[in-house]
Structure 1
Amino acid sequence: MLNVFKLGYVEFKVQDLQAMKTYYESIVGFRLTDEKNGSAYFSSSTDHHNIILKESTESGISKFGFQYTADGSINDVKDHLKSLDIEADLLHDPAPGVKEALQFKDPDGYTVELYPEMDLAEERGFQKEGIRPNKVGHLSIRVSDAKKQVAFYEKLGFYNTDWIEDFFGFMTCNCDHHVLNFFTSETKGMHHLALELRSYNHLVETLDFMRLNGVHLEWGPSRHGAGHNIACYHYDPEGNLIELFTDGDVFIKELGIFDPRPWHRDFPQKPKVWSTDECLSLWGVDFEKALV
């Protein structure tokens, strides 16, 4: 009855709203679609927004939202969540472009919203300059117990696609290798936000663009194990770790495998448990900054 199919948006608390607006507009290349009540809304493509920047005295992730389809009304979905022991509040007009949403806390206290519809952006999100990613690809957050988080999101229909040992769990709600992952940690907060690029050529062009615009690369590029995405990482102006990636695995949930690729070691490639050493860089490249 409930089909969650897309990571729709991520909201950040920001101390320097102007610096972060400049980053998302001029560096990332998203389009500013609205400003209201101390918040700025940015679109990656067709949605009214995929990134929300909320002025605050703190920095860090505030909430994230997923789009869903369902057989019944939003009240039916609310009742369904209650049957899963998830108490959700029904919100009316929680943000520009979103008429209604269900909001709840996951086991680690992160604020999650489910919404059935979002207005389209009046103009294309893709700008003429900047990185111009395809979309917000996935979100990685630090939690007290990754296994507990994975079990919770499985109740919402997510699939567990891979593990790094027993502390880093990957989950998807569509054909992407992951739209969420959970990193068992002593601290709370976002590990990274990932933006999907179109190709390795796009990634290389982006790295030249970033260098010319004073954005320093912290890790990569290299190909990861879990997901097999070619990835690199940098920090935004408020210290949030941002991944740029391309060429990620495609999950075929009906078969329980990933769409075959020549660089897969397993045939077919199935969800599994990876060791940390083999997972971070399949190319065997060491970088000064450690990701985990």
Structure 2
Amino acid sequence: MLDVFKLGYVDFHVQDMEKMKQYYAEIVGFTETETDKNGSVYFSSSTDHHNIILTPSDQSGIRRFGFQYVSEHSLSEIIDHLKTLDIDASVREGGDPAAPDILTFTDPEGYAVDLYPSMEMRENRGFNKEGILPNKVGHLSIRVSDAKKEVEFYKKLGFHNTDWIEDYFGFMTCNTDHHVLNFFTSETKGMHHLAMEMRNYQHLISTLDFLRLNGVNLEWGPSRHGAGHNIACYHYDPEGNLIELFTDADKYIKELGIFDPRPWHKEFPQKPKVWSTDECLSLWGVDFEKALV
């Protein structure tokens, strides 16, 4: 009925718009494309009209997130199909400036989720010259009361469960990336982190020097994770949202149920598995003062 294939955008509540605009424009290197009538500001990584939305608010944190899908069916037919899956979706009034046909629903943990079939491209496409300049917004990690329940829910939308850290951290994908979403069982609600994909290890390392020279300090990393095998490091944006920069993440071959082999894998073939916390967070054996979980 519908094939979800991409994490398209993340929308943040923002208290200090100027600081956050400066961060996503000058530090991340995204292009500001539009400000709508409600004051929301849209940023593009390269081609899409937007991948980040900053919405004025009296609070900070994640507001909603959107996935792109492809389907031969109409919006009403997809809504009827989702109802058979116990997903109460509706057409979002007003849509977005470049994605007018948005379906929206609330997942079991209360997060607002959008589904959209198309988005306009920005007029001047491509990457900027200065900033972190990620390839893309890679994945989103959110805190939930029950990760197992969330994993089962997103399976109904066609997501695949690729790995677990014990029974509290579930990884899911809708394409070949190791994960597009992950769910962290927690006593608190909100985003755990938003991850941006770097071109390679050299890009990541040069970015760390760029961050230091611009007064942004790392909170964790770099090191190689177990689940996903991505080399990752983390810092906070101006409003306390945890941002991951990563490279070298596993590629999932869903037809075979394995990850594309890499020299740093210990198992051949590397299959989805349950990792222990200790073996998963840092395969390089690096201890960090700040724990991620």
After TM superposition, the score normalised by the length of structure 2 is 0.99
1:244-265 CA distance string (max 9 Å, x none): 0001000000000000001101
Q: Whole-Å Cα distance in 2 between the matches of residues 206 and 243 of structure 1?
A: 12
1:16, distance to aligned residue in structure 2 (A): 0.1
Aligned to 1:32: 32
Q: How many residues align?
A: 292
CA RMSD of aligned residues (A): 0.7
- Asked if 2 retains the 8 angstrom alpha-carbon contact of 1:43 and 1:125, the reply is no
1:125, distance to aligned residue in structure 2 (A): 4.8
Q: Whole-Å Cα distance in 2 between the matches of residues 93 and 249 of structure 1?
A: 37
1:214-236 CA distance string (max 9 Å, x none): 00011000000000000000000
Q: Whole-Å Cα distance in 2 between the matches of residues 60 and 126 of structure 1?
A: 26
Partner AA of 1:289 in structure 2: K
Q: Whole-Å Cα distance in 1 between the matches of residues 5 and 13 of structure 2?
A: 25
Aligned to 1:252: 253
SS class of match (1:208): helix
Q: Whole-Å Cα distance in 1 between the matches of residues 47 and 83 of structure 2?
A: 32
Q: How does 1:1-292 map to 2 (within 5 A)?
A: 1-36=1-36, 37-292=38-293
1:91, distance to aligned residue in structure 2 (A): 2.1
1:71, distance to aligned residue in structure 2 (A): 2.3
SS class of match (1:217): coil
SS class of match (1:268): coil
SS class of match (2:102): strand
1:7-62 CA distance string (max 9 Å, x none): 00000000000100000000000000001121100001110000000010000000
1:126, distance to aligned residue in structure 2 (A): 1.4
- Asked if 2 retains the 8 angstrom alpha-carbon contact of 1:92 and 1:100, the reply is no
Question: What 5-or-longer segments of structure 2 have no aligned partner?
Answer: none
Of the structure 1 ranges 89-98 and 100-109, higher mean CA displacement relative to structure 2 is found in: 89-98
1:128-185 CA distance string (max 9 Å, x none): 1000000000000000000000000000000000000000000000000000000000
- Asked if 2 retains the 8 angstrom alpha-carbon contact of 1:193 and 1:241, the reply is yes
Q: Whole-Å Cα distance in 1 between the matches of residues 155 and 109 of structure 2?
A: 15
1:195-244 CA distance string (max 9 Å, x none): 00000000010000000000001100000000000000000000000000
Q: Whole-Å Cα distance in 1 between the matches of residues 93 and 67 of structure 2?
A: 16
SS class of match (1:94): coil
- Asked if 2 retains the 8 angstrom alpha-carbon contact of 1:165 and 1:274, the reply is yes
1:93, distance to aligned residue in structure 2 (A): 3.7
Structure 1 stretches of 4+ with a deviation exceeding 6 A read none
1:76-117 CA distance string (max 9 Å, x none): 111110110111111254111011111000000000000001
Question: What 5-or-longer segments of structure 1 have no aligned partner?
Answer: none
